């Protein structure tokens, strides 16, 4: 680490105060907090998942958040997308969320882009990140995020929420990927999007909390409890299951790249 990074990494008195309850934690010392401060995290989607995941990481002290979302806020978003209020309707989600995050924690950097992740811009956005958090509502984007993260060896924590159910898992450079669990042909039904289906206000927020929690474990403590494991949350029974999965030797994404 060069001298400039070391100085930037050090926490100011104000930051020490802001994060004091975290630094008091057993196992979470100043070192872990400084690792968070140096972290660059990309959030794909500023909807039901992204709103809360971004807010929790902002409060916890992740140094730089980049938020991507092309949509504008609609009335039907307010039921679950906790960053938005009625006066925000019509404004861009990414921009509005970023404004709120800066008000919550002045010590971090937030960048907002009112655009969708595409094949043309994905590598540029993902290459410089320490972690990508997917909370988008389109299968095509999920496959693209997975593909580029695998290609560039950038870790990915992917969350989804629909109706009363949620899923969460992590993809790393040497693990199975999204496409190993959900092969393209079986799960490309775009009609299963949140935008078209019902979702209880709490479901995305439960999954966003779990996603943010996993992100902190990874960034601060280098833990990967959901690497090659799929967490399934059932919001009707309140049960959580964790299922192990393996690399699909026929996966066109991660296997093609290791040959
Ligand atoms: Zn794969």
Q: Say how many Å lie between the CA of residue 239 and the centre of ligand 1.
A: 27
pLDDT at 194: 52
pLDDT at 186: 54
Structural domain contains residue 78? yes
Q: Domain range for residue 194?
A: 39-258
pLDDT at 140: 94
Q: Say how many Å lie between the CA of residue 112 and the centre of ligand 1.
A: 30
Structural domain contains residue 95? yes
pLDDT at 185: 73
**Helices 30-38 & 202-221 angle (0-180, nearest 10):** 110
Structural domain contains residue 23? no
Structural domain contains residue 84? yes
Q: CA 169, 136, 223 angle in degrees (round to 5)?
A: 30
Structural domain contains residue 182? yes
pLDDT at 259: 42
For the entire predicted model, the pTM comes to: 0.94
* Residue 67 to residue 80: CA distance in whole angstroms: 18
Question: Residue 111's beta-bridge partner residues?
Answer: 66
Structural domain contains residue 27? no
Residues, CB-to-ion distance under 5 Å, ligand 1? 177, 179-180, 251, 253-254
pLDDT at 255: 86
Q: Say how many Å lie between the CA of residue 62 and the centre of ligand 1.
A: 28
pLDDT at 184: 87
Backbone angles phi, psi at 214, to 5 degrees: -65, -40
Structural domain contains residue 146? yes
Name the 3-class secondary structure at 231: strand
Q: CA 39, 41, 42 angle in degrees (round to 5)?
A: 160
* Residue 92 to residue 73: CA distance in whole angstroms: 6
Structural domain contains residue 9? no
- In the chain, the number of structural domains is 1
CATH code: domain of residue 201: 3.40.50.720
pLDDT tens for the chain, 259 residues: list them. 666 676 667 999 999 999 999 999 999 999 999 999 999 999 999 999 999 999 999 999 999 999 999 999 999 999 999 999 999 999 999 999 999 999 999 999 999 999 999 999 999 999 999 999 999 989 999 999 999 999 999 999 999 999 999 999 999 999 999 999 999 875 556 555 555 689 999 999 999 999 999 999 999 999 999 999 999 999 999 999 999 999 999 999 998 654 4
């Amino acid at each position: 680490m060069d001298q400039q990074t070391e100085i930037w990494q050090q926490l100011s008195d104000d930051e020490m105060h802001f994060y004091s309850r975290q630094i008091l934690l057993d196992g979470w010392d100043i070192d872990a907090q400084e690792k968070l401060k140096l972290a660059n995290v990309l959030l794909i989607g500023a909807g039901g998942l992204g709103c809360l995941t971004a807010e929790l990481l902002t409060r916890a002290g992740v140094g730089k958040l980049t938020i991507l979302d092309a949509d504008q806020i609609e009335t039907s978003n307010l039921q679950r997308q906790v960053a938005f209020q009625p006066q925000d309707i019509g404004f861009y989600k990414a921009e509005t969320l970023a404004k709120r995050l800066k008000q919550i924690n002045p010590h971090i950097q937030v960048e907002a882009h009112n655009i969708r992740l595409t094949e043309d811009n994905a590598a540029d956005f993902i290459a410089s990140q320490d972690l990508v958090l997917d909370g988008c509502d389109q299968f095509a984007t999920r496959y693209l995020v997975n593909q580029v993260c695998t290609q560039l060896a950038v870790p990915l924590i992917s969350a989804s929420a629909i109706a009363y159910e949620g899923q969460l898992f992590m993809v790393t450079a040497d693990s199975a990927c999204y496409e190993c669990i959900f092969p393209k042909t079986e799960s490309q039904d775009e009609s299963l999007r949140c935008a078209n289906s019902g979702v209880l206000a709490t479901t995305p927020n439960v999954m966003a909390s779990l996603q943010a929690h996993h992100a902190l474990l990874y960034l601060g403590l280098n833990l990967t409890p959901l690497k090659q494991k799929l967490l399934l949350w059932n919001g009707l029974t309140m049960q959580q299951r964790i299922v192990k999965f393996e690399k699909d030797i026929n996966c066109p994404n991660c296997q093609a790249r290791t040959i």
